[in-house]
Amino acid sequence: MKGWMLSLALACAATTVHAADAPAAGVQVARKGYSLQAEQQGQGPVTVVFESGFGQGAGVWKDTIASLGADCTCIAYARAGLGKSGTDGAPKTIEQHLQDLNAVMDTLAPNRKVVLVGHSYGGLLATEFARQHPQRLLGLVLVDPATMGQRHDTLRADRERVLADDKALLSMLPPNMAEDYKLLIAQLDSDAATTPRTLPDLPVALLTTTQVAAEPFVFEETAQGKALWKRQHADLFAGASRGIHQYYATGHNLHRENPKAVAEAVRFVAAAPQGGD
């Protein structure tokens, strides 16, 4: 599950910097006990909502947003407790994060269908949101996404290594993020995470990274881990009715290394025929 562990460790130090890179103008999205800081750029005809990876703020999408230029209206935000977003101090479940994402859409894109883009844990959230609210979306762009059943697969492949990776990550994270991570892995370790899932009838662009690290930091950066990662993504895409699955020889943060690839995927999804067309 932790293909994003290295980027997570880096994000702990980098989130504040990226948040500062985001546009100064923002919108506060009220939630019970806290508010989320969302940013909107552009006035293009296609609305794109970005969901960042675990521990990452809105600013990680700045190069992708720049690549989209005037084509889109782009909305990015930081989840509770990250960047300039507030928190009620309690770790959030996947469902609570989905409710926050829905609130961002209701506030900044009411009555509009959007292209939803998610990276890593944000890709898991985007996929689950699409399953619950397909009527809100034009399509999905999944950037090296995590999946609900992924952790069960990695534990079967190398349980000792995965648990050691958990311990290492928890030693690096600040306390609030560590609690979020503990809650997340508890959900992904549950039997419910293995429930078969299909994607709704929406255009999907799935972008998978293939780089094996010379000195792997976590299991997913090993040759065995990357092979499993690619197989999990192939299974995910098999549940889509239409779209594209592309592979890139980069690290996990594809949107930072090749933002134009993500922008092109957004354009592909936005231009794809809708169901019944």
Residues 6+ apart with CB under 8 A from 156: none
Q: Apex CA 46: angle with CA 45 and CA 48, to 5°?
A: 140
Higher pLDDT, 106 or 277: 106
pLDDT digits (tens, 9 = 90+) for 192-226: 999 988 899 999 999 999 999 999 989 999 999 99
Q: Please tell me which residue, 16 or 63, carries the higher pLDDT value.
A: 63
Is the pLDDT at 16 greater than 50, yes or no?
Answer: no
Residue 24: which pLDDT band, with cuts at 50, 70 and 90?
A: very low
Which pLDDT score, from 0 to 100, does residue 276 have?
A: 57
Each domain of the chain, given as residue ranges in start order, spans 5-270
Round to whole Å and give the CA distance between 27 and 84.
11
**pLDDT beyond 70 at 63:** yes
Question: Is residue 17's pLDDT more than 70?
Answer: no
Q: What mean pLDDT comes out for the span 229-253?
A: 96
CA dist 253 and 259 (Å) reads 9
* pLDDT for 277: 54
Q: How far is CA 91 from the centre of its chain?
A: 18
Cα radius of gyration (the chain) = 17
pLDDT greater at residue 256 or residue 7: 256
Q: Are 37 and 83 in contact (CB under 8 A)?
A: yes
Other Cβ atoms closer than 10 A to 29: 20
Fold (CATH) for 5-270: Rossmann fold (3.40.50)
Mean pLDDT score, 157-183: 95
> Do residues 143 and 64 lie in contact, with contact meaning Cβ atoms separated by under 8 Å?
no
Q: 60 to each of 50, 69, 163, 194, 196, how far by Cα in Å? A: 10, 16, 28, 30, 31
Q: Which of 150, 118, 117 is nearest to 54 (CA)?
A: 118
Give the position of tokens 């999408």: 61
